[in-house]
Structure 1
Amino acid sequence: MNRFEVFMKVIEKESFTEAAEDLGYTQSAVSQMVKALEKELSTTLITRSRKGIQLTADGREYLPYINNIRNAYWELLEKNKEMQGLESGLIRIGTISSVSASWLPKLMKDFKEIYPSVQFQLQQGGEYSEIVQYVKEGSVDFGFINPDATTELEKISLTEDEMLAVLPPNHPLAKNEKVTLTQLATEPYILLEEGHLNEPLEIFKQHHLQPNIQFRVHDDYTIMAMVENGLGISILSQLIMDRVNYRLVKKTITPPIKRTIGITYKNKKLLPIASRYFINFLIERFQR
């Protein structure tokens, strides 16, 4: 384990003790590696107090560079594994909750039946912009997003997902076969924050409508609980709604709202071999 990884783990856990437990090291060993990094950089990166640890001014300046080195180190290890063959590969994926809760488990299971030694590491993002950032900084190999969410990375569209109106069971619109955008625009609206690209808001805008946004939330399941409790209505992807137990009513919207789901990455040729194989596997699966 290199000192850059240890330092980032200390920052993540905000504790030398918890970082040591997570990494399987002694607290003394973790402390010594952080001190060695500080000595190399001729500065103090972290201060300790009763309230926990804090980055110094220099620590805040160095943090993004240390994180980049940590990620580059993992990429180096993956390249080494690639040289030894696909069997030992790690696939790092940035994913949104609707994908990780529905498609991804089955896709990973099927892929591991072909390559049983391949490992997966998932990094959840609340917004498309978070996934794009994960890809840019190298903490994941590729990510699931709406391809329209980035113009700076390579991307591939996989499929379309319809979005549905989500209503409390006793809502007056629950009796309708379908609901219109105009009807939804007058209701207290719970917005799923997805960064600068939000499919429902785009459709409202195209039809010169402004939803009555009362809440902004980053998690689909929190929104479902809020709708169940009568705090408002929302629009969520059919994908995320397929396997939930909340007391909700789902309605088709007219005109329909659909989002494209795809993957994005920096340069496919430079990806670890396991990730390249998995991307090809995804393309083949969705193009059947």
Structure 2
Amino acid sequence: MPTLRALECLIAVLDAGSITEAAALLHVSQPALSHQLAALEREIGAPVVERLPRGVRATAIGRAVEADARVALTAAARVVDSGRAVVRGEGGVLRLACAESLTASLLAPVLRTWSRRHPQVRIQLTEATSADDLVQHLESGTADLALGPRPTRWNGAEELIGAEEIIAVLPADHPLSERDRLTFDDLRDQPLVHYHPENGLSAWLDAEAARHGVPLTPVVRVRQAATAAHLAASGLGIALVPTTALATAGPGALQHLDPVLSRDLICLIATPADPLVRRFTADVVERGIPITASVRTKLA
């Protein structure tokens, strides 16, 4: 297989009509250029240039391969240009996986900014119901970067976005709504708007409650944290909801838990050397975990 360097030397010689001038254009020595031509001729099995008293010219073989050699060099240059464009954020594909409860609150604002700054970068987004599902996307090669809570297993690179607080959402007229904070013991025997087992919050909250010696009493299970908040506010029970799932503070009451319950949100990085991944990760980390002003006010 001829090297691109050998093809580059052939085209330079044909354009210049001289080995001396071609060597000067490529900033190589004449023996080095002649060595490349000789290697190409051995690969083909015939001379590609004819040495004349003054200069050189292409043989019939050289003329036959010239067009393909130029195409190969042009294609190689496009490869380099495309790669450099991706480094500059002017092209490429970024494959993201995100916990579905975080897509609107955490990811969407960063994507809006990216679409303006890097319109030529294509985004492929996959939503997952749990942190362990995010790991599967990374390990299967279908995602370059994943955003979500800390999984049970992950040995790759990661960046901490921040800690997300879990708060209680209650009906506005609930007797516990007058408390400053709620403990897990306050939740004992209380009807709970809980999560579907496929949502990672389900097992995690069960484990936290068990650590405090309190069994949770689900009256309904839902897949989305925002849905849990709405059902709790409407009077169905109490919901434990991440602050990122509350785009606005609805009609229900919001209460901190005592002790404060929170979970880390992180970027899991499958390809840490990728410049697009590094840049996107930096933007997510810089933005941090959003809490709307209305939620902050109701929690104050």
Measured against the shorter chain, the TM-score band is: 0.5 to 0.7
Higher-Rg member (1/2):
2
Q: Is the 8 A contact 1:157 1:263 kept in 2?
A: yes
Q: Once the 2 structures are TM-superposed, how far is the Cα of residue 279 of structure 1 from its aligned partner? A: 1.7
Q: Which residue of 1 aligns with 2:218?
A: 213
**1:238-262 deviations in Å (ceiling 9; x for gaps):** 1211425x43211111111011100
Matched residue, 1:96: 99
The answer for the alignment partner of 1:37 in structure 2 is none
Which of the residues 135, 152, 169 maps onto 1:132?
135
Which residue number corresponds to residue 263 of structure 2? 259
Aligned equivalents of 1:163, 1:102: Cα separation in 2: 15
SS in 2 for 1:224: helix
2:282 to 268, 280, 283: 280
Instruction: State the match for 1:174 in structure 2.
Output: 177
Say whether the 8 Å CA contact 2:131–2:150 is kept in structure 1: no
Structure 2 Cα separation of the partners of residues 99 and 117 of structure 1 = 24
Residue by residue over 1:134-175, the C-alpha shift from the partner in whole angstroms, topping out at 9 and shown as x without a partner, is 222222211112224323443222201111001122221112
Say whether the 8 Å CA contact 1:161–1:239 is kept in structure 2: yes
Q: With the length of structure 1 as denominator, give the TM-score of the two structures.
A: 0.62
Amino acid aligned to 2:173: N
284 and 173 in structure 1: CA distance in 2 versus 1, 3 angstrom threshold: closer
Mapped contact 1:127–1:218 kept (Cα < 8 A): no
Structure 1 residues 79, 216: closer, same or farther in 2, change over 3 A?
farther
- The alignment covers a number of residue pairs equal to 207
Q: Structure 1: how far apart are the matches of 2:99 and 2:136?
A: 13
Take 1:266 and 1:79, find their aligned partners in 2: how far apart are those partners?
Answer: 23
Distance 1:79 1:134, change over 3 A: farther
Please tell me the residue identity of whatever aligns with 1:238: T
Matched, 1:158 2:161: yes
- The reply on whether 1:189 has 2:197 as its aligned counterpart is no
Return 5+ residue gaps in structure 2 as ranges. Answer: 1-78, 290-300
Moved more, 173-182 or 128-137: 128-137
C-alpha distance in 1 between matches for 2:143 and 2:271 = 12
Matches within 5 A, 1:1-288: 82=83, 84-85=85-86, 86-192=89-195, 193=197, 194-195=199-200, 198-243=203-248, 246-269=250-273, 271=274, 273-286=275-288
RMSD of aligned C-alpha atoms?
Answer: 2.9
CA offsets 1:24-81 (integer angstroms, 9 cap, x no match) = xxxxxxxxxxxxxxxxxxxxxxxxxxxxxxxxxxxxxxxxxxxxxxxxxxxxxx9995
% of aligned pairs identical?
20
The answer to which structure, 1 or 2, has the higher relative contact order (CA under 8 A, 6+ apart) is 1
Secondary structure, aligned partner of 1:93: strand
Shifted more, 204-213 versus 275-284: the winner is 275-284
* Amino acid corresponding to residue 173 of structure 1 in structure 2: L
Per the alignment, do residues 110 and 248 of structure 1 end up closer, same or farther by CA in structure 2, a change over 3 Å counting? same
